[in-house]
Structure 1
Amino acid sequence: MLTRQAIDSGEYLDHFDSLPNLWTKDRIESSLAETMRSRPTGTDDVWIFAYGSLMWNPMVHFDRKQVATLHGWHRSFCLRMDIGRASPEMPGRMLALESGGHAHGVALKLARATMEQELGLIWIREMVLGSYQPTWASVTLDNVTETHAIAFVANTSRDQYAADSCVSTVAPLVARASGKFGSNAEYLFKLHAALKEYGLQDSYIDELAGEIQRISPCRA
């Protein structure tokens, strides 16, 4: 499981050294600065919308956590992956958000005193491949408060983006892919379990988990 120490030590970035077009620390920091400059007017707190591994392994320190609904985006295994939980011999898919619909997840509010450090860790974790586009998006917290949160959505201009993310296409890839960080299926089933733990549901994830259990029972 990814840890703060792996990012702080540089071990996490070293894992991706063999890949072309790897984002440098300078480019990652520039992306963070640009995102913060575009912070919506009147947004006092900084929330991160967790919809994948941030739900069960947030790794960062936060001040508050609330179930939330993200508006205008939905989960999609639309990013090609051949490292991490996959390999060139067994490519898989990475989770992202695509435009349209909504997604239920968890909003993490960063403490102002440590916000800069925590954002730096999140950016290294999420932006090393440049596969995401950090976006301020509308969310409704479970106490009905409406605010904005940073969501890491699919960067559709990158080579990793795959427009076909339907269950029949994605399931066989996720079912067999595996790499240094574990199996692609393990990621999916951890997400499925995390959604249940928070009392949430995503029909796409439900269907994908069911199909992988059908075609590869040993992965369940």
Structure 2
Amino acid sequence: MASPAIHIPHGPARSAHLLQRTTAEWRERGEDLLLFAYGSLIWRPEFEYAEALPARVLGYHRALRMRSSVNRGSTHQPGLVLALLPGGSCRGLVYRVPRAIGEEALPQLWAREMPNGVYDPRWLHCDTPSGRLRALAFTLSRRSPNWTGPLHEPELLHIFRHAEGRYGTTLDYLLRTVQGLREHGIRDMELERQAHLAARHGLCAPP
């Protein structure tokens, strides 16, 4: 079941509140930490895990429609990162992080994914070869000011050309995600369409 929404404005205070709440929810279950990866966590998890399972979430889909002013863009030129938006389904991975490691991994993950508290962390049901598991995922509401809505090709190309943040460019993020998904047998047609768009305009090699 999803955690209830909170109404603290985006920023460090919201991020800290959500970390405290999510940590308490996890500890209450007394289990290993389960994380649903659908983007950069697939190709750059940065934490130790005991198991990685192919997984599918119903009710959410992956989309490159969240503004990023830190990780893949700046306040001057916002970039884009992936989010889970309501509707559809999404294939990814569920990582099983041992409890002892999770106590350290969760705050580190928060610093990476939630510097401004933009995502809505939720415990989602994930269908895996080991059955249905409840894993933490980073979702986004369409009411969020960081949701871009539909983007036209000229807007995407401008972002691919110019947006860069502390972890690199939006375009590199897109290309590495497409490759990381393929390595796990996942083809995301919308992300691949966006990567081919960049290639047609000479911004990268064909993916």
Gaps of 5+ in 1: 1-19
CA distance in 2, matches of 1:47, 1:187: 23
Identity %: 29
1:97 and 2:89 are equivalent in the alignment: no
Q: Structure 1 residues 29, 84: closer, same or farther in 2, change over 3 A?
A: closer
Identify the residue that residue 219 of structure 1 maps to in structure 2.
204
| 1:21 Cα deviation after fit | 5.7
* SS state at 1:98 partner: strand
Shift of 1:83: 3.3
Aligned to 1:72: 59
Match of 2:147 in 1: 161
Q: SS at the partner of 1:187?
A: helix
| Matched residue SS, 1:191 | helix
Q: CA deviation at 1:132?
A: 0.2
1:25-174 correspondence runs (5 A)? 27-38=14-25, 44-141=31-128, 143-164=129-150, 166=151, 168=153, 171-174=156-159
Instruction: Check 1:58–1:136 CA distance in 2 against 1; reply closer, same or farther (3 A cut).
Output: same
Question: With structure 2 as the length reference, what TM-score do the two structures score?
Answer: 0.82
For 1:99 and 1:203, the matched residues in 2 are separated by 18
Pairwise CA RMSD: 2.5
- 1:158 alignment partner AA: S
Q: Which runs of 5+ in 2 are unaligned?
A: 1-8
- The 3 A distance-change label for structure 1 pair 173 and 109 is farther
Shift of 1:48: 0.4
Task: Give 1:23's match in structure 2, choosing from 8, 12, 35.
Answer: 12
Q: Does 1:181 align with 2:170?
A: no
Q: Shift of the alpha carbon at 1:126? A: 1.3
**Residue type of the alignment partner of 1:99:** P
Q: How far off its partner does 1:106 sit?
A: 1.2
Q: Distance in 2 between matches of 1:169 and 1:101?
A: 26
Task: Give the TM-score normalised by structure 1.
Answer: 0.78
How far, CA to CA, are the matches of 2:152 and 2:192 in structure 1? 10
Report the AA paired with residue 203 of structure 1: M
Aligned residues between the structures:
195
